[in-house]
Structure 1
Amino acid sequence: MQRVEHVMGFPVSLRIDDPVAAEETGDAVFAWLRAVDARFSPFKADSEVSRHGRGELSADELSADLVHVLDICERYRAATGGAFDVRLPGRGLDPCAVVKGWSVQRAAELLTSAGLRRFCLNAGGDVVVSGGPWRVGVRHPAFADRLCAVLDLTDAAVATSARYERGDHIIDGRTGRPVTGVDSLTVVARTLTEADTVATAAFALGAEGVDWAAAQEGCEVFAVLPGGRVLRSAGFPTADAAAA
């Protein structure tokens, strides 16, 4: 089974290489992601996130899912000394850096619960795979038609934070300024919740975030700095790599 839909502002592709796959399973995955977008998007005025950000919902009135997401946000805010912060002044509450990875990981768990063992779920370039090995490419930060790494992944997730798609959009919460000391930073972890959040939090730290991410339990890191310098942790599962 292969299926692609545009959800949460980016393309989401699902490939299932499993003989027991049913169309209903794909339906459940995309229905969940659409529900997450409706509930947690800071760009929808009636979402739970927007209402909480405006003070219309107290902490006691939040869903268990949003409480969980905000707990993750706070944990990484503390771990980065405030560099990663979903409550930046003048910007309102925006937990997208956690919601994306968390929601796609939950979607992957729906597939696993349905008995599927070999699949790849790709959400705008952030990927979670079951079974394997799967080969996953990491886009070159300077050239859209080139890869800077190819990974061999089995039962793992990979996420990249970078400047090439949305410009200097990641803000260091300690300074309030965009981060420019890293071009792209890729994290491989056991879940996409971890990979996506660690990648964004590490990027917010700037160049020092590479070592910080590599020190997180179960995480491997590949980063390209301005000027083309490449840094990678010893266990990063690279099948083939080319420096910038």
Structure 2
Amino acid sequence: MRRVEHVMGFPVSLRVDDLPGEEVFERAADAVFGWLREVDARFSPFRADSEVSRYGRGEPLEPSADLREVLGLCEEYRAASGGAFDARPPGRDFDPCAVVKGWSVQRAAELLRAAGARRFCLNAGGDVVAAGGPWRVGVRHPDRADRICTVLDVADAAVATSARYERGDHIVDGRTGEPAKELLSLTVLAPTLTEADAVATAAFALGREGVPWAAARPGCEVFAVDAGRRVLRTPGWPAARAEKSAA
């Protein structure tokens, strides 16, 4: 059973293989997409009335429990990356999207598990939470949209990619305020999408040194392509197929 909706600025696709009937699936899917629409309304920095925008402007408000959790994650990865990951980099507005996306989609996956799903794939703009499986996940080539760099088998884990190919140089090194340009793309496999997404962004901001940094995180494996089109891959990367070069 499948559903696809456009929410939070990107397509989100859901496939569930083991819920007992369409009615149960529709209720679970409604909960997933309802939660993601709520996150978009509350946490988008592009909405002037969102809780995140109001917090970023310094308006007097008591942060919700969810916002406090997001702020805690932002600080965790800022400290862990030595400031390369920063939700408020020099000269820029507060933007916790690099944490919010993975955190919110992981929460959506937990809603599916609460509904009884044990075999599903939730794909949010290319970042994936996979339960059961294995599921085969392809990572896009950084230069060509019609090619892939690697395919990995994923079971009960999450995959997230940070790259320059969709939004240009949008990832900023929080230590300098300048765009991070040493890598073209970096993909992280981790136990949860909360961690995979934040680690991928932090590692991309760190540049080439981000690959060993991310690999040292518990449960994380990394596949990256640097600006010279060289592939950097951890030994434990669970590839079904991997190319030696992305050229």
* Fold shared, TM-score > 0.5 on shorter chain: yes
Other structure's SS at 1:117 match: coil
- 1:22 alignment partner, SS class: helix
Q: For residues 213-228 of structure 1, what are the structure 2 equivalents within 5 Å? A: 213-228=214-229
> Which position in structure 1 is the counterpart of 2:67?
66
C-alpha separation in 2, matches of 1:108 and 1:133? 16
Deviates more, 1:127-136 or 1:13-22: 13-22
2:28 corresponding residue in structure 1? 25
Larger mean CA deviation between 81-90 and 97-106 belongs to: 81-90
SS at match of 1:143: coil
Aligned letter for 2:173? Answer: D
Question: What amino acid sits opposite 1:123 in the alignment?
Answer: A
Mapped pair 1:179 → 2:150:
no
Cross-structure match for 1:43? 46
Query: What amino acid is aligned across from residue 123 of structure 2 in structure 1?
Result: N
Q: CA RMSD in A?
A: 0.9
Q: Cα deviation per residue 1:131-169 (whole Å; 9 max; x = unaligned)?
A: 001000000101110010001010000000001001111
1:180 is displaced (CA, Å) by 0.6
Q: Check if 1:167 corresponds to 2:177.
A: no
The residue that corresponds to 2:114 in the other structure is 113
Question: Which amino acid in structure 1 is aligned with residue 46 of structure 2?
Answer: F
Give the Cα separation in 1 of the matches to 2:45 and 2:83: 20
Tell me the distance in 2 between the aligned counterparts of 1:52 and 1:69. 12
Q: Which residue is equivalent to 1:137?
A: 138
C-alpha separation between the residues in 2 aligned to 1:113 and 1:24?
12
Q: Give the aligned residue type for 1:172.
A: D
| 3-state SS, counterpart of residue 142 of structure 1 | coil
What is the count of residue pairs matched by the alignment? 242
Partner in structure 2 of residue 88 of structure 1: 89
Structure 1 residue runs of 4 or more that deviate by more than 3 Å after TM superposition: none
For structure 2, the residue ranges without an aligned partner over 5 or more in a row are none
State the one-letter code of the partner of 2:5: E
2:168 counterpart letter in structure 1: G
Q: Kindly state the Cα deviation for residue 175 of structure 1 after the two structures are TM-superposed.
A: 1.0
- Other structure's SS at 1:205 match: helix
Inter-partner Cα distance in structure 2 for 1:227 and 1:55: 41
Shift of 1:227: 2.1
Q: CA deviation at 1:18?
A: 1.1
3-state SS, counterpart of residue 144 of structure 2: coil
Q: Give the secondary-structure state (helix, strand or coil) at the position aligned to 1:127.
A: strand
Where does residue 232 of structure 1 map in the other structure? 233
CA contact (8 A) 2:182 2:226 kept: yes
SS in 2 for 1:128: strand
The amino acid of 1:50's aligned partner reads S
